Amino acid sequence: MAEETEQTPPAPTGRQLAAARDFVTRHGKPSRAVVENIGRVGARVVLVGADGALGDVIVPSLETGTALVEAVEDLEPAEWDSATVKATKIGAAHRRKMAGPRAGR
């Protein structure tokens, strides 16, 4: 029988930390972060700035996402509750970007 070993999830990279810190700097303090599972790829850390802007950072696991949120000053863990949803401000340009090629129809 194969022995199971517990593997430590990868820590956030310098690039991931820099992206989250830059977001907080550009979009205000405190910013919120919702860590979401996206399957085999890992997790998406959705960032919501104090100004309502949205951003994200892709990480290899939920645990790495949680560690990223904990490591960035002025980034608060959040859930998609009414306060977080109300804090987002999605403009027309972002809606077109999310719609992709269908936006022109």
DSSP 36: E
pLDDT (average), residues 22-32: 96
Task: Give the span between the Cα atoms of 81 and 65, in whole angstroms.
Answer: 18
- Does 93 have pLDDT greater than 70? yes
What SS3 state is found at 41?
helix
What SS3 state is found at 60?
coil
Amino acid at 97: K
Task: Give the span between the Cα atoms of 20 and 27, in whole angstroms.
Answer: 11
pLDDT score, position 4: 56
Task: Average the pLDDT over each of 8-22, 62-76, 89-103 and give the range with the smallest value.
Answer: 89-103
- Who has greater pLDDT, 52 or 94? 52
CA angle, residues 95, 77, 8, in degrees to nearest 5:
110
